Structure 1
Amino acid sequence: MSISRELGDHLNEHRYRANLTVVHWLAGNLSQSVDLGRQLMRERPGGVAVESTLALANFGIALASMGRYEEAIQAHRMHLFMARCRGSQYDISNALGHIAAVENRLGHFSKAVRLIAASLRLRDRTGHRSGEPEARNDLGIAYRHLGRIDTAREQHEMALELAVDSGERHVQAAVWNDFGVTLAFSGSIDEAMAAHRHALELATRIGHPYQQGRALVALADHLGDDEWEQARRYRQRALAIFRRMGAPERTDLERRLAAVDAVDGAGSRLSHNR
């Protein structure tokens, strides 16, 4: 970025800083990611009122990571509008995929399937595979919620293969976690735990705190009653991660841990009274 700044190449400097939005998101610096994204929306690279579709897409991802779904949808819809105005099928396919990811978070699974199907058709037409692993993983999530478990598994497997081929380890970690949820939903608990362990190992290796937290919570949920202390440690580690990030998952996890502590406290008092 500094080289572009020195050369007066404001457009490329803007693009690099747009990519920095995602770097902050992956590192767990969610507030910084959103703040930078908002700043980029106000800039006029080179003195020209041209908004970057990349900046819009990444801003939407940052907003969604903080649970600000309606704002994220607005950013992605603006990205889609600009892509259509410019006739960029690549950007149109990306915007559709990003909107679908947020629709999944909102529970609109049939709508997500339709959006992803349109996104994948455009990718096939243009030959662009960038973003396809995420799209197929989101398709797996939607199909799981719609009860189409076998189809969901197929999409997660395809997503994982594509992510491995492209070397996108942060996407691999996300797919392993979502695949694990689908496996557990189908009753394959041992396979699910293996998937979440893959996610935890990979996310830890690359420093991706959000997927670490997700894996820890999932593993805790699948541990047996005789392993409740280990489950509690996993959840406490995950809560520390989510709190540090400001991730919305912390609220539900705080409630769950408080409920467990209340039960444990009641049990301890009962034993003492006896």
Structure 2
Amino acid sequence: MHWLTGRLHQSLEANRMTLRSCALDTLPVLPNLGLTLRYLGRYDESTAVHRLHLFAARIKQDPFHMSNALGHLGGLRCRLGQNAAAERLLRASLALRDRTGNGFGRAETLSDLAGTYRQLGRYDDALRHHEAAIEAAAASGERHVQAQARNELAVTLGATGRADEAVAVFEEALAIATRIGHPYEQARALDGLAGHLAEKEPAQARRYRQRAFAISERMGAPERHDLRRQLAETPA
């Protein structure tokens, strides 16, 4: 709950406390700890935790946790721009999920794979996986991923010159993230809207970016540094 509501430092402490108290079974704790570190921008530590999660899952022959760990490692590689490694990990995660019939987390993995394809310039593949991610998130009830998947789709639409569609999808993502109180995706949507409205509606774009910065600053998310710079470069 701390992670979903943007209280990342409280999430980090809660995960560490839980890890100390359940030495016999760390599998449920490691993915949450790794995700919290990722959203704090502590990528090396996050990678180490997710690798430990994958190792422990392999030792216990737990396919659910193996697929989760592979997906989280792939998401990290995507964020770091290591697209070849990201694609391999994410496709392996999806294959394991499909083989076991466990669909939890599938939408997030599809969304990360779509982002990877966008970074590789494979826009048709990206758009196909974005739509699949949105459908999977709706089917599984993972509402935070519904917002994430739309933010990712909007970025791809913008990259392919479909600016008006991108704005509409960012607005959808913002509405969902606001409704469920998920600040990280709120900030992403606000920043995306600001980027598309900067020329036509500079005052509104600045307000959106200020809101995105305030959210990111409060969370301690690494995106706050770029947002601070962008605000400093934007005329008041």
The alignment status of 1:241 with 2:219, answered yes or no, reads no
Instruction: Name the amino acid aligned to 2:205.
Output: A
Match of 1:33 in 2: 11
2:203 and 2:133 mapped to 1: Cα distance? 34
1:24 and 1:178 mapped to 2: Cα distance? 23
Shift of 1:142: 0.3
1:109 and 1:32 mapped to 2: Cα distance? 31
Instruction: Name the amino acid aligned to 1:99.
Output: L
2:13 and 2:207 mapped to 1: Cα distance? 32
1:45-69 per-residue CA deviation (whole Å, 9 max, x = no partner) reads: 3xxx413211001100000010001
TM-score by length of 2: 0.97
The alignment status of 1:68 with 2:42, answered yes or no, reads yes
Shift of 1:176: 0.5
1:226 and 1:76 mapped to 2: Cα distance? 43
1:136-190 per-residue CA deviation (whole Å, 9 max, x = no partner) reads: 0000000000010000000010000010111111110000101100111111111
- In structure 1, the gaps of 5 or more residues are 1-22, 265-274
1:52 and 1:198 mapped to 2: Cα distance? 36
Match of 1:270 in 2: none
| Residue pair 2:187, 2:213 contacting (<8 A) in 1 also | yes
1:78 and 1:216 mapped to 2: Cα distance? 35
Match of 1:231 in 2: 205
Of 172, 180, 185, the match for 1:211 = 185
Q: Structure 1 stretch 55-64 or stretch 103-112: which is displaced more?
A: 103-112
Shift of 1:36: 1.2
1:179-222 per-residue CA deviation (whole Å, 9 max, x = no partner) reads: 10011111111111111000000111111111111101100100
Match of 1:174 in 2: 148
Aligned identity (percent) is: 51
Q: Following superposition of structure 1 onto structure 2, how do residues 115-126 of structure 1 map, counting pairs within 5 Å?
A: 115-126=89-100
Instruction: Name the amino acid aligned to 1:117.
Output: R
Q: Secondary structure at the match of 1:25?
A: coil
Query: How many residues in Structure 1 have an aligned counterpart in Structure 2?
Result: 236
1:198 and 1:71 mapped to 2: Cα distance? 33
Q: Secondary structure at the match of 1:129?
A: coil
| Residue pair 2:198, 2:206 contacting (<8 A) in 1 also | no
- In structure 2, the gaps of 5 or more residues are none
Q: Structure 1 stretch 218-227 or stretch 26-35: which is displaced more?
A: 218-227
Task: Return the structure number with greater helix share.
Answer: 1
1:202 and 1:124 mapped to 2: Cα distance? 27
Shift of 1:224: 5.0
The alignment status of 1:157 with 2:153, answered yes or no, reads no
Q: Secondary structure at the match of 1:54?
A: coil
TM-score by length of 1: 0.84
Backbone CA RMSD of aligned residues: 1.0
Of 112, 115, 122, the match for 1:141 = 115
Question: Relative to structure 1, is the Cα distance of residues 224 and 258 closer, same or farther in structure 2, using a 3 angstrom cutoff?
Answer: closer
Question: Relative to structure 1, is the Cα distance of residues 236 and 224 closer, same or farther in structure 2, using a 3 angstrom cutoff?
Answer: closer
Task: Select the structure of larger CA radius of gyration.
Answer: 1
Shift of 1:42: 1.9
Match of 1:96 in 2: 70
Instruction: Name the amino acid aligned to 1:58.
Output: N
